[in-house]
Amino acid sequence: MAAMDDPGPRGWFGSFGGCFVPEALVPACEQLASAFRAAMADADFLAALAGLQRSYAGRPTPVTEAARLSEVLGVRVLLKREDLAHTGSHKINNAIGQGLLAKRIGKTALVAETGAGQHGVATATVAAHLGLGCTVYMGAKDVARQELNVFRMELLGATVVPVTAGARTLKDATSEALRHWVTAVDSTHYCIGSVLGPHPYPWLVREFQRVIGDEARAQCAELLAVAAPDVVVACVGGGSNAAGTFAGFAGTQARLVGVEAAGGAALTDGRTGVLHGALSWFLQDDDGQIRQAHSISAGLDYPGVGPEHAWLAESGRAEYHTATDEEAVAAAELCARTEGILPALESAHALAWVHRAALAKDLAGGATVLITMSGRGDKDAATMREFLRGRR
């Protein structure tokens, strides 16, 4: 298949993807795939989606020239500002699309998983706007470190269910959301938040997030004397903001770089396996059991990547690197002090790699680098404060 193309009726990106779900969910996945394909060919659906993106989510988000950060790093840095979208991150793009799709197929409620809470907030926001019920599963560890987002979801009318099983993080929340969907599939749509899960979710979420890359490519074409930046960088947990960004540039000569958390680097430390309905790369022990991931960023605290990222890595169209907790926090501080922009800790991993690569001359002096600022850092202020207190 061509880079970032249609994965076909069975949802395969090369040798990754597929639909590995309980028999009770097979009809729901098939219905969703058919409904999504029809919706994306329906001018009325596309007009409704574009209308909400514009009037409700606040699109298009700008590309900001980061002049002072560029001076420090020795490369020209452009920031795609998803932190300025409604609810504070790129997650609203996908939530709006799936909310409209859920109504189109007659569902009355949404169920979602969340790690950092941004997808949960976006899903709760869209559910309130469209008059849908909403239940959000969140690992108990993440509930504790993202109290503000939990309160936001509850204010929006969602039921937040802490998950105490396993590592009490995003993986476990995803497992519980899938179990909920099995019991309520007739009335409930599972609004998955990343390019994970069974077909059609990795494709569907990428297409709803493609607006990031399509906008950024057009904006960069106005700013630059060439067709695209030299390098396009985004953080990768499951990988939705990266997939959406890369989709706009896959057909160009731009170097595509995804940055994982060092403690959850499936493409560096993992191997192939099946989890949450798809075949991809996951952290595993010698017996094939899923290993616990770690990241200071709740949104990157997932032991795998979406199947399309596994294929992009295998095909060589994208490359994947890591950043540590320490590097991410330092990058967030640097961005805040040079640009007056406090990034989410997820986005700070992408900034951290650019910082490291610039110092190591892995980026040519004067190269143009587009970084997707996937979310704002308000939610992480308490986490950063505790981290910095412990370090100083």
Q: CB of 329 within 8 A of CB of 336? A: no
Rg (CA), the chain: 19
Beta-strand pair 76-81/109-114: unpaired
Structure tokens at 248: 């706009």
Enter the tokens of residue 14.
């090369």
Q: Is 169 helix (H, G, I), strand (E, B) or coil?
A: coil
Please give the Cα distance from 249 to 229 (Å, whole number). Answer: 9
147 given a catalytic annotation: no
> Which listed residue (91, 141, 171, 379) is catalytic?
91
Residue of 111, 101, 108, 122 whose CA lies nearest to 40: 101
295 counts as catalytic: no
Rounded distance, CA 273 to CA 378, Å? 35
Residue 45 CB neighbour total at 10 angstroms:
18
Helix, strand, coil content of the chain in percent (nearest 5) = 50, 20, 30
Q: How far apart are CA 19 and CA 276, in angstroms?
A: 9
d(CA 281, CA 269): 9
Distance, CA of 70 to CA of 5 (rounded, Å): 33
Active-site residue, selected from the candidate residues 194, 297, 347, 374: 374
CB atoms within 10 A of CB 10: 11
Tell me whether strands 63-65 and 76-81 are parallel, antiparallel or unpaired: antiparallel
Catalytic residue, from 113, 176, 327, 339: name it.
113
Helix 91-104 with 43-55: angle, nearest 10 deg: 140
Active site residue 113: yes
- Positions annotated as catalytic residues are 91, 113, 374
